[in-house]
Copies of this chain bind each other. A is one copy, B any other.
Amino acid sequence: SSSSGEGVDRVKTLLQLCVDRYYVSPGQSNTELFQRGMSCCYGPLGMELRRNLLQQWWLSVTGPTQQVFGINTLSSSKDTATDGLRFVESEHLKPILEQQELSKEQLVQKIQTLIQRSPSLRTGFLQGALEQFVPSLELVNRKLPFGLAETGLCFQPRDGSGCPAEVTQTSLVWFCPPRTSSQWLDHWSRQRLKWWRQFALSPSEFSSSDVPEQELEESATRGARILYSFPWGQEPLETLWSRGSTELLQTHKGVRTKLQCRDGRKSIPHVISVTGNMDRGVMAFLSNSLQQLKKEESKQKMLQRKVLKLHPVLAPVKVALDIGRGTTVELRQVCEGLLQEFMEAKISTWPGYLETKPTSMEQLNTKYDEMGVLFTVVISENTLESGLLQVRSRDTTIKETKHISEIKNFLSRYISAADNI
């Protein structure tokens, strides 16, 4: 159909833009990983976008209204009971294979022992958080509810492509009184959906839905998903499970006294897990923010202006610094002063003035719009004379004249206003 054709075109355009504009490293297998919601080689802008996204996730989850503590667990475990991706180091296999005197049975036996003693790579953060539950109880004086948060790499068994897939996961494991676990699942579903939509250009492309009973994980009594509508269909960004207390008890070998909390009665907490895929989150926001607008001034056939309208908080580059007409050496000095000023105010800046390839202003604007740069500041001869410079907005394309002394505060105010919505 024509609409799925459009979808395919849109995906192609997005992937090409991501490669051209330093979000994703080139190479077909790399862009395939990216499209499948796996961790891939990111360029500087993609890497910064993911940083910003993780930072916002962290702030929202560990925010002031809830008791959530960050932890760090190991990505590999020698605990043979854990449900990870068990692996054998080739350096340990080789000497066994070289033992000429072994019979086939002895060889098989030795390798099986090696497998049993081999560590596993985590596929998620749940197990680590369950293990950290007991040491964390002291932090909260055994009072429910509270949560443990972690972000980082998790691994999935390798598929046809030959590599184990890596995913940048976010995890909140929430411990709550059994009688309110269902409300807490609802609370976190609402809270998470609100969070995703807060940064969206088209919020309706983010949605949530309950997991149908037949798709429930073994230990879960209820589940919910936050979904994003990609051109090729819906994919989950975050998954929430209401897991009861079975896994927590298993992890601590059923010693109930260690696990009991104070919530009016002495109860074993129920566990809500909230697991996100931030690599897919990066792609969702890139897909969500790409606007293709017909250029009005264009006389040729259907020239399009592509703009990555990323939310100001997520945009990896807030401002680009460029030079217009004038003596390059002097203008560069002004740029360097401004760059320093912006960096001190933690405004992420693209030093376009270092570029030595000649480009027209129009080409620059096209490039920065596709990079999602919020503002372009142009320093020219005029700046040296009067202190005035040009500021162009990505979203309005309007150019304003401002004094050099007010530009930093203007940018800071714009970004922090967007931050507090």
| Residues in chain A within 8 A of chain B (CB atoms) | 22, 25-26, 39-44, 46-48, 50-51, 63-64, 67, 69-78, 85-91, 93-94, 97, 102-104, 107-108, 111-112, 115, 117-119, 128, 131-132, 135-136, 139-141, 143, 152-153, 155, 157-158, 161-164, 166, 336, 339-340, 343-344, 349, 351, 354-357, 420
Known interface pairs A44-B71, A118-B90, A162-B117. Does A141 touch B39 (Cβ–Cβ under 8 Å)?
Answer: no
CB–CB B47/A89 < 8 A:
no
| Complex CA–CA separation, A40 to B358 (angstroms) | 50
CB–CB A164/B71 < 8 A:
no
A414 to chain B, nearest CB (A): 17
Residues of B within 8 A of A162 (CB): 78, 117, 119
| Complex CA–CA separation, A357 to B139 (angstroms) | 11
Residues of B within 8 A of A139 (CB): 22, 43-44
CB–CB A355/B141 < 8 A:
yes
CB–CB A40/B74 < 8 A:
yes
Copies of this chain, how many? 2
Known interface pairs A135-B26, A139-B44. Does A119 touch B164 (Cβ–Cβ under 8 Å)?
Answer: yes
CB–CB A25/B75 < 8 A:
no
Closest to A109 in B: B97
CB–CB A77/B143 < 8 A:
no
Residues of B within 8 A of A67 (CB): 351, 354
| Complex CA–CA separation, A158 to B117 (angstroms) | 12
CB–CB B71/A90 < 8 A:
no
Known interface pairs A74-B40, A162-B78. Does A89 touch B91 (Cβ–Cβ under 8 Å)?
Answer: no
Closest 9 CB pairs of A and B: A42-B72, A44-B69, A104-B104, A87-B87, A86-B90, A64-B343, A78-B162, A47-B72, A47-B70
